[in-house]
Amino acid sequence: MISVGIVSFGYPDKKECKKMAQRIKTVTRQLQSYTHPVTFKRIEAADYTLTNQQEKDEWMQAINHQDGFIFLIPHHSAEIKDEVAHSLEVCSHYLKNKPLLIIYYGVVDKFGDHIDTVELARSYDMPVIYNSVTLPYFDRTRAGDFNLFQKTDSNLLNEIEKLLYWAMGMKYTRQLISQQEKGATSSS
């Protein structure tokens, strides 16, 4: 079974992140079947205080148990750049060779400095799915646009399905590498 972590970085607004993560979990229910044996776990990075050793260990274990990740990153991410980088640095060993899909949400800040999430993830040897997903901001005027909502969810589902195939392949690759390392240490 594959386990995918929906990791949200709700440092500025946990409530908005929770809402977005729940929307993604709802969309992913269509993928949970016998042909896609997968579980999706919501993980909120802001819930862990990394200066507390117990919470730091819990954060690392939550990340370690995942085979792939969906990162929810707000467009207005300039003020949380350090928090995101630190939370990933702490568990960087557990991110290696685990695929990542990046989903951006919220209002685009045209003037702010944004996190280069792709480069950050690649620095931890994470393969990043080529197409990131941008969830449009639904204000009152756009909330009733059913076609936009349906198209967005369809695109999101397609990218998550790609992530699942990557996660399955990378899990198999990690197992082979682990077996080779065990064989090399036992023969020496």
Give all strands of the β-sheet with 133-134 in edge-to-edge order: 38-44, 2-8, 68-74, 100-105, 133-134
19-52, pLDDT tens digit by residue? 888 888 888 887 777 666 888 999 999 899 999 9
pLDDT at 56 over 90: yes
The sign of the CA dihedral 19, 15, 104, 47 is negative
pLDDT at 177 over 90: no
* pLDDT of 76: 76
**Tokens (6 digits) for 52:** 């507390």
**Tokens (6 digits) for 40:** 């999706």
How much is the CA Rg of the chain, to the nearest whole Å?
A: 17
69-89, pLDDT tens digit by residue? 999 988 777 778 888 889 999
Whether 126 and 95 have beta carbons less than 8 Å apart is answered as yes
Residues 6+ away with beta carbon under 8 Å from 120: 84, 85, 88
Parse the chain into domains and list their residue ranges. Answer: 2-187
pLDDT at 116 over 60: yes
Spatial CA neighbour of 120 closest among 61, 185, 156, 73: 73
Tallying the residues shown for the chain, one arrives at 188
Q: How far apart are CA 59 and CA 88, in angstroms?
A: 10
CATH number for domain 2-187, candidates 3.40.50.360, 3.40.640.10, 1.10.10.10, 3.30.70.3270: 3.40.50.360
* pLDDT of 113: 61
- pTM, full prediction: 0.83
pLDDT category of residue 139 using cuts at 50, 70 and 90: low
pLDDT at 179 over 90: no
* pLDDT of 37: 82
